[in-house]
Structure 1
């Protein structure tokens, strides 16, 4: 498959409709995932639905990376704290997506980071956990197929429990750390190293690195960017992405 890694001059992988498994080097933290989500929203209309487990949806990181705070208004976050809560959120997701589409806010993206994380807890038997996980993967695959939107998953560990994620994914992307910066690679070995050059040396990936990429992408997409850039990382300047909700809120 020939992929477009440039996105108007910005070297981030474009997300295709269907289920995508994104494996991210743990040393890179949540920033690559946040950058990919925001990059997709810069090029697409509609809403992103983020079903979180383990604190991947970090409001301050999203706020600092976003070229403009209005993109955060298009992200709806639901947080699960147990496997049962997480499964319940995913059960409700098709209805949430349908209601949003009726309100003229069609889904642009579904994000489920750490899909397997809560199903590893001791409060749920292993076989039941696997069954819950597989059934919710089917729900996500149905949303991707029926709505023709990307569904992005990440996993906390590569083992037997997370194997269904690989089977459900239409494609797998890897983001690994290199001495020149992060590199995205697909299953066919096509890759692009993202490099941020500073003076006579190389700058490893930082918030400033991803900010630069997303601001470049915003200009290429014709989106407005605040002249002063993202707001300072202080509590008074941190809005919530579309009012993150608890499991009960869904």
Structure 2
């Protein structure tokens, strides 16, 4: 369910333990996913584990949206470039999550965007690709169950190959583009248009708007907020591009 109203009727979806499928309109890019991940970290002291495919983990976007750069310290990312690399990363993920728990950095979230993307490549037979995908979905479901944390998945396409992704999900959320901005909708039909009111009857959503949402949530949670005077526009290159998010393997 969509809960925790943040600001003038604006809210981000609350993630619950279990597997969540997040279907995002392709025109919206990676910002909604990054905002949901950071919003969850604001309310949880644990670490996010991101297994990427197709360049969804964007350091610049995460840096722009984070209310404080410290939140990026809690995102560990790895990227697969083939189906076999991706499957190998997911096979190793339970151990990585367990090691983090032992080191007193408890897992808070697992993120696997476009989980089906690499399994569509020509270098892997279709019958084998579906088997690989189904087995890794079982691994992710096991992590969600054993660690009692959310596992967020997205898919690149809705067809027979990605059907097991929807079947594995305990909850499905949709994020669609509307004339008034992005809108999250859950299976029960609860939705809220995420817009920024600029007056004169006009509404707009921007990266600064996502940042405002996250800053508000951070203040509610008593978390640190970067209140420096530097501002970054949507088209301005980020001055600080370094990040603990590492795109290599575990």
- TM-score, normalising length from structure 2? 0.93
Contact 2:198 2:204 in 1 (8 A): no
Give the C-alpha shift of residue 229 in structure 1.
6.3
Partner of 2:248: 246
Measure how far apart 1:201 and its partner are. Answer: 3.8
Q: CA offset at residue 224 of structure 1?
A: 1.9
1:140 corresponds in structure 2 to 140
Distance 2:216 2:238 in 1: 26
- Compared CA separation, residues 40 and 106, structure 1 to 2 (3 A): same
Secondary structure of the 1:237 match is: coil
| Deviates further, 192-201 or 74-83 | 192-201
1:23-102 correspondence to structure 2 within 5 Å: 23-102=23-102
Across the two proteins, how many residue pairs are aligned to each other? 246
1:195/1:160 CA distance change after superposition, 3 Å: same
Kept in 2, the 8 Å contact 1:65–1:230? The answer is no
Alignment partner of 1:220: what SS?
A: helix
Instruction: Compute the displacement of 1:34 (Å).
Output: 0.2
* Matches of 1:123 and 1:24, distance apart in 2: 27
User: Which SS does the other structure have where 1:164 is aligned?
Assistant: helix
Aligned CA distance change for structure 1 residues 7 and 45 (closer, same or farther; 3 Å): farther
Q: How does 1:176-215 map to 2 (within 5 A)?
A: 176-215=176-215
> SS at 1:44's partner residue?
coil
Pick closer, same or farther for the CA change 1:96–1:230 going to 2, 3 Å: farther
* Alpha-carbon distance change, 154 to 229 in structure 1, aligned in 2, over 3 angstroms: farther
Higher mean Cα deviation, 211-220 or 95-104? 211-220
Superposition deviation, residue 206 in structure 1: 2.0
Mapped partners of 2:230, 2:186: distance in 1: 31
What is the CA–CA distance in structure 2 between the aligned matches of 1:197 and 1:158, rounded to whole Å? 33
Q: Write out per-residue CA displacement over residues 129-156 of structure 1, whole angstroms, 9 at most, x where no aligned residue.
A: 0000000000000000000000000000
Match of 1:161 in 2: 161
1:110 counterpart SS class: strand
CA RMSD of aligned residues (A): 1.7
Matched position secondary structure for 2:55: coil
Contact 1:78 1:89 in 2 (8 A): yes
Stretch moving more, 212-221 or 163-172: 212-221
Residue 239 of structure 1 and its aligned partner are, at CA, apart by: 2.1
Is the 8 Å Cα contact of residues 52 and 78 (structure 1) preserved in structure 2?
yes
Instruction: Give the direction of change, closer, same or farther, for the CA distance of 1:110–1:8 in structure 2 (3 Å limit).
Output: farther
Query: Shift of residue 235 of structure 1?
Result: 5.8
Structure 2, unpaired ranges of 5+: none
**Aligned mates of 2:245, 2:26 — CA distance in 1:** 27
Q: Structure 1 residues 201 and 8, CA, compared in 2 at 3 Å: closer, same or farther?
A: closer
Deviation of the 1:245 alpha carbon: 4.1
